[in-house]
Amino acid sequence: MTRVVLMAVVLTVLPLAGSQGAAQVRTVWEWQGKEGLSAWVPNEQIAGVRQTPEGVEFRTTGGDPILVLRSSISIPASAWQALEVTMQADQPGLVEIFWTETREGPYGGFSQEKVSRFSVLGDGKWHTYRVFPFWQKAGRIIRLRFDPFGGARFALGSMRILEWPVPKPSSASLIMPRDAALMVPLHYVTARTTTNGLVLERSAEDGFALAPLPSLDADALTCISVEASASKPARPSLVFATDAAFGLQEIPFSVVADGKRRVYNLDGLGHPAWKGHIVGIGLRPSGVLTVHTLRVSDRPQGPADVRIQSFDAAEALPRAGRPVQFTARLWNAGGEISRRVEAAFDLPDGGTTDTRGKATSVGRTVRVAVPPLRYGEEHTVSCTIKFARPGTYRVPLRVLDRGRTNAVATCVVQITPRPTVALTGAPPEPRPVRGKLDVGVYYFPGWRTAGQWAPITRYPERRPVLGWYREGDPSVADWQIKWAAEHGITFFAYDWYWSAGARSLEHALHNGLFNAHFRRYLKFCLLWANHNPPGTSSHEDFMAVVRYWIENYFRRPEYYTIEGKPVVIIFTPHRFRADMGSEAVRRAFEAMREECRKAGLPGLYLIACVGGDTSEHAAAAAEGYDAISAYNWPGLGMSGNQRVAPYADLLEPHRAHWERMAAAGPLPIMTPVSGGWDSRPWHGDTAMVRSGRTPELFRRHLLDARRFIETHPGKALPVALIEAWNEFGEGSYIEPTRDYGFGYLDAIREVFTDAPQAHVDLTPADVGHAPPQVDVVAAMRGDWDLTRDPAGWDAGMNLTDFRTEDGALHARTTGDDPAFFGPPMQVAATAHRTLVLRMKLTPPAGSPSEDTAQVFWTTRSTSTSEAASVRFPVKLDGQWHEYRVDLSTNRRWRGLITSLRLDPCNRSGVTVSLSRIRLD
C-alpha cells in the first residue's frame, strides 16, 4: 500500500569534520541568536519568545510553526554548500529549512521541492546540525524559512551557510591514487591514499565524499563504473549532484566481500534524477571501501561477472521425505557477454537428487549450464533435493566461470518432521487461543495476480507458506484465519479503499473472508486507506460511506467493536482536514455516529493514525476521533539520510513514542507494533530498511507493548495493533513465510496468551490441500490477449469494476491517475521498441473527447518513475482504437524490461476496455 512513512527522529551531531580542515571552509551567510528574532517573521504558532545570552528561546504550538527570514539574501547556490544550525530542543522531532530563488508561487516561492530536513535530539542540550541542501539547481538563494515541529521548546544559537573550496576536475574518470585529491570527504567520511587506491571509511550513516566533474551531459554518458574492493560485506552508494534536480542523489549497490578488485556497473538512466549536467559524483561508503577507479561512460565496463542475486528453497516450510526445490536467480553484472558458465549445487550429507534434463551430476555436485548472458540479463537455475530425516542442512551453490569459482552462496534449510495427520484435502478446524488483551493485525489485500507477486519473487525468503496464493479464494482465507486464531490474534484490520464512491481491492474481504468456513473464529474491522485525490472528502461523501459500512459490514457478527461500537481506523486524517477543515470533519463524524444509532448500533468508534508530531493528538481530539494509533513508525531511531538501520534499534524509540503520544492529549492509544520494514520490492535499492528483524526481537517488542498497555489503564486501549499480516512489499509481515516460518505468530501466542508453547502448526501440504496459486513465471514475450482473462494484468490504483467480459478487460477510473499493472516479464528493449494497444475509452457525458495516456516500465535495477515513461494521445469517444507508441523515443527504454504499467487516461469516470497489449 502506497503511503507516507514517519522518517528520522535522531540526527547525528557535530563535530562533523572529515579530512578537510575547518579553515578551508568559509561562511557565506550567518545569523546569531543573540540578535533576537527581529530578523525573522514568526507565525502565530511561535510563542513565549525570550532572549538569553546563548540565543533566543521559544515554544511551538499547533502542527505548523514557521519562521521566515525578514530580509532577502543573495547567495550563489552551489553543490558545495551546507546549512548549519546550532540549537536545543526538549522533544525529538523533524525540522525543515525551506529555501527559494523566487518569491513567486502560492507560498512566496517556498515549496516541498526546495527543503532540507534534519532530526533533532530532544535532550534539552545544545547540538550543531549540518545538512547539505544541494540546491545548485536554484542558481541563487534569496529567501530562507525555518520550520520547527509543534509541541516543543527550542533555543536557537546560530544559523550559517558554509561553502567548501572546489577542486578543479580534468575528466569524467577518476583513477586512484592519482586523482585522490579530487574526492573531498565532505561529511562524516575519512579518506586515505595508498599505493592500491583511495580508502574511504564512513563514521556516520549519512557520510559521503564528493568529487567535482567537468561539464558532463547525463544523456550522453549513462553508465557509472566503480572499481572497488572490500574485505567485509558492505552496501555503499554512488552519490551524484545534477543541475537539473535538488538534493544529493543516491544509487546503492552491494560489494562482494572477497578482497578482490571488481567492477560495479550502475545504470545512471535507471535513476530519475540522472539528467541535465552532472556537477559532482562520489561515494557513500559502508564500512571500509577501497576505490580504484570511478568512471562515467556510455557503456558497462569490465569482464563478464555472473553473480547470485538470490538463492533459497522454494518450499517455505519443507518437511522430511518431501522434495525441496532450491532455486537461484543469476545475473551478469559485467560489461562483456558471459560464456561457459555453470551453476554447481553441492549436495549435503543426507540429501539425494534425481538429475534429469539439462543438469549433470559429478559425484555429490549437480551442475546446471547457464546460457550466455548480456549485462543485466537474468537466468534462473534450480536443483531438487530430498531429505529423509529432519535436521538443519546447508546447500552450497557455486557459479563457475570456465571452471573457476566466481560467486558463492549457501542456503540453510531446516527440514521439519512430517506431522501425522489425515489427508483431508481441506484446512482443518482451528483451535483458537486467547488472552486478556486483544491483538489486531493490519491486512493488505494486494495479492491476486502475477504482477502483484512478481516483485516479491526477487526476495524468496518472503515466500509465504501458502505459496504465491490467489488472494480472495475462501480456502486461502480459511488457512489465514486458522493460523491467526491459533496464535492469539483477535481481528484483522483490512485496508479498505473508497474514493468518492469508487471502491477497489475488496477481493480478500468480500470474496475471501465473507465466504470462508472459519470466519466465525476471527473478527475484522476496516482501515480506511484514504489515499484519495484532494477535494474528494465531503460531508455528503462521509454519509454515503457510513451507509455502505452499515449495510455491508457493521451488522456482521464478526465485526470488531469497542464499547459495542464498530471500529474504523482512518489512515490519513490530514486528507479530511485539508479538504474540509477540522470543524467540518467533527460535524461529519457526529452525523456518521447518529446514522449508526438510527440503524440500531451504539455508535461509531473512530481511530486516527498519527505520526511523529505530538500535536497530531490534539488535532485528532478536536476533530472528534475516539482514539489514536498508527500504521507504522519505521523511521523511529534513524538519523539524517540514514536508509538502513537495525530493527533492534526500533524498540526503545517505540516505547518512548508510545509514552509521548499517550501523554500528549486526552485520547487513548491503540498501541501500534511494527513487524519490521524493508520496502525494496516496492521502492528499489533506495528504500528504507530495518535490518536484522527476528522473531525474538519481535517478541521483545510485543512484551514492551503488553507492559505499556498494562501499566497505562485509561491511556492505552487493551489492544495491540500490529503492522502487518502480509505487507510483503514493505517488509512488514508476520504471516508464515520461508524465512522464519511460524516464528512471529509463535511470539504473539507466547506473549499475549497463556496457551502452551508446545503445539503443531499444520500446512496445506500436510493435509493434502493445494490452495490456488498465481503463476509468477516470467513471460518471455510481451504479448497479452485480454479477450478471455486478464493475462496477469490487474487494476493498480484509481480503478474499480475490474472484470473480463464481452471479449475485453474492463475497468472504470475513479481518479485522475488510474493505472493498470502488468505481469512479470523479461523482454530486451532493443528487440521491442513499440507498444501496441487495442483500447476503447468511454467517458461520462460532457467530458472532452481527447486525453493523454502514459506507459511506464521497470528494469531489474529500476523501479517505476516518471523519467521511465512515454505519454501518448488517446480518444475518449467510446470507440475501439489501435495505438502504436514508440517507446524508443525515451533513452531509458533500454536493457531488460521486467514490467509495464499503463495509465489509460487522466480522468475520473471513464470506462476503459482493453482487448490486446503487445510489444513489437
Q: What is the DSSP string of 171-189?
A: -SEEETTTTGGGSEEEESE
pLDDT of residue 3: 34
Residues counted in the chain: 920
- Maximum Cα–Cα distance across the chain: 82
> Apex CA 815: angle with CA 540 and CA 612, to 5°?
75
Per the CB < 8 A criterion, the answer to whether 327 and 380 are in contact is yes
Query: What type of residue is 852?
Result: T
pLDDT over 80 at 401, yes or no: yes
Identify the band that residue 641 occupies on the pLDDT scale cut at 50, 70 and 90.
Answer: low
pLDDT over 80 at 361, yes or no: no
Give me the residues paired with residue 341 across strands.
Answer: 370, 401
Residue 918 vs residues 451, 627, 837: alpha-carbon distances, Å: 16, 50, 7
Name the one residue in this structure whose C-alpha cell is 513514542.
657
Identify the band that residue 643 occupies on the pLDDT scale cut at 50, 70 and 90.
Answer: confident
Name the one residue in this structure whose C-alpha cell is 539425494.
352
User: Distance between CA atoms of 310 and 103, rounded to whole angstroms?
Assistant: 51
Section 410-427 average pLDDT: 95
Per the CB < 8 A criterion, the answer to whether 164 and 80 are in contact is yes
Identify the band that residue 14 occupies on the pLDDT scale cut at 50, 70 and 90.
Answer: very low
pLDDT over 70 at 309, yes or no: yes
Pairing between β-strand 689-691 and β-strand 677-678 as defined by DSSP bridges: antiparallel
Q: Which of 193, 220, 210 is nearest to 296 (CA)?
A: 220
Q: Which of 71, 137, 145, 161 is nearest to 107 (CA)?
A: 145
User: The C-alpha cell of 359 is what?
Assistant: 543438469
User: The C-alpha cell of 282 is what?
Assistant: 562520489
User: Distance between CA atoms of 662 and 610, rounded to whole angstroms?
Assistant: 12
Q: Which of 16, 64, 19, 25 is nearest to 44 (CA)?
A: 64
Give backbone dihedrals phi and psi of 829, rounded to 5 degrees, phi first: -60, -35
Tens digit of each residue's pLDDT (9 = 90 or more) over 171-228: 888 999 999 999 999 989 999 999 989 999 998 878 999 999 988 899 889 999 999 9
Give backbone dihedrals phi and psi of 477, rounded to 5 degrees, phi first: -60, -35
Tens digit of each residue's pLDDT (9 = 90 or more) over 664-683: 999 999 999 999 999 988 88
Cis peptide before 724 (omega within 30 of 0): yes
Region class of 425: left (phi > 0), else alpha (psi between -120 and 50), else beta: left
Section 899-916 average pLDDT: 95
The answer to which of 261-270, 448-457, 764-773, 831-840 has the lowest mean pLDDT is: 448-457
Q: The pTM is what?
A: 0.85
Give me the residues paired with residue 109 across strands.
Answer: none
pLDDT of residue 640: 62
User: Distance between CA atoms of 281 and 773, rounded to whole angstroms?
Assistant: 46
Q: What is the DSSP string of 387-405?
A: ESS-EEEEEEEEEEETTEE
Q: Which of 521, 353, 486, 454 is nearest to 774 (CA)?
A: 454
pLDDT of residue 206: 83
Per the CB < 8 A criterion, the answer to whether 897 and 859 are in contact is yes
Buried residues in 667-681 as b, exposed as e (16+ CB within 10 A): bbbbbbbbbbbbbbb
Coil, helix or strand at residue 432: coil
Tens digit of each residue's pLDDT (9 = 90 or more) over 688-698: 999 999 999 99
pLDDT over 80 at 133, yes or no: yes
User: The C-alpha cell of 89 is what?
Assistant: 530542543
User: The C-alpha cell of 508 is what?
Assistant: 480478500
pLDDT over 70 at 293, yes or no: yes
For the four alpha carbons of 729, 505, 533 and 6, in that order, the dihedral sign comes to negative
Host H or E run for residue 503: strand 502-504
pLDDT over 60 at 6, yes or no: no
For the four alpha carbons of 740, 742, 748 and 753, in that order, the dihedral sign comes to negative
Section 101-115 average pLDDT: 93
Cis peptide before 177 (omega within 30 of 0): yes
Give me the residues paired with residue 154 across strands.
Answer: 58, 89
pLDDT over 60 at 1, yes or no: no
Pairing between β-strand 491-499 and β-strand 523-528 as defined by DSSP bridges: parallel
Identify the band that residue 4 occupies on the pLDDT scale cut at 50, 70 and 90.
Answer: very low
Identify the band that residue 12 occupies on the pLDDT scale cut at 50, 70 and 90.
Answer: very low
Q: Which of 151, 377, 160, 189 is nearest to 286 (CA)?
A: 189
C-alpha 809 chain-centroid distance: 30
Name the one residue in this structure whose C-alpha cell is 460532457.
846
pLDDT of residue 169: 87
pLDDT over 50 at 406, yes or no: yes
Identify the band that residue 266 occupies on the pLDDT scale cut at 50, 70 and 90.
Answer: very high
Instruction: List all residues 6 or more positions away from 297 whose beta carbon is below 8 Å from its beta carbon.
Output: 172, 173, 221, 223, 225
Mean pLDDT for the chain overall:
92
Section 364-387 average pLDDT: 93
User: The C-alpha cell of 121 is what?
Assistant: 535530539
Cis peptide before 15 (omega within 30 of 0): yes
pLDDT over 60 at 835, yes or no: yes
User: Distance between CA atoms of 496 and 567, rounded to whole angstroms?
Assistant: 13
For the four alpha carbons of 30, 35, 37 and 40, in that order, the dihedral sign comes to negative
Tens digit of each residue's pLDDT (9 = 90 or more) over 433-454: 999 999 999 999 999 888 888 8
For the four alpha carbons of 905, 907, 908 and 909, in that order, the dihedral sign comes to negative
Give the burial class of 357: count Cβ atoms within 10 A of its Cβ; 0-12 exposed, 13-18 middle, 19 or more buried: exposed
Coil, helix or strand at residue 248: coil
Host H or E run for residue 752: helix 743-752
Section 780-799 average pLDDT: 85
User: Distance between CA atoms of 195 and 840, rounded to whole angstroms?
Assistant: 65
Q: Which of 589, 597, 610, 491 is nearest to 545 (CA)?
A: 589
Name the one residue in this structure whose C-alpha cell is 543426507.
350
Tens digit of each residue's pLDDT (9 = 90 or more) over 866-892: 889 999 999 999 999 999 999 999 988
Helix 695-711 vs helix 743-752: crossing angle, to nearest 10? 30
User: The C-alpha cell of 838 is what?
Assistant: 487495442
Percent of residues in the chain assigned helix, strand, coil, to nearest 5: 20, 40, 40
Coil, helix or strand at residue 138: helix
Instruction: List all residues 6 or more positions away from 407 whose beta carbon is below 8 Å from its beta carbon.
Output: 256, 306, 307, 308, 398, 399
Per the CB < 8 A criterion, the answer to whether 399 and 308 are in contact is yes
Name the one residue in this structure whose C-alpha cell is 529423509.
388
Residue 299 vs residues 228, 269, 376, 469: alpha-carbon distances, Å: 18, 12, 12, 40
pLDDT of residue 360: 66
pLDDT of residue 22: 42
Give me the residues paired with residue 677 across strands.
Answer: 690
pLDDT of residue 10: 28
Residue 840 vs residues 630, 858, 912: alpha-carbon distances, Å: 41, 25, 6
pLDDT of residue 116: 94
Residue 737 vs residues 453, 725, 903: alpha-carbon distances, Å: 14, 11, 33
Name the one residue in this structure whose C-alpha cell is 574492493.
229
pLDDT over 80 at 609, yes or no: yes
pLDDT of residue 830: 85
Section 518-539 average pLDDT: 95
pLDDT of residue 16: 37
pLDDT over 90 at 300, yes or no: yes
Q: Which of 702, 807, 711 is nearest to 745 (CA)?
A: 702
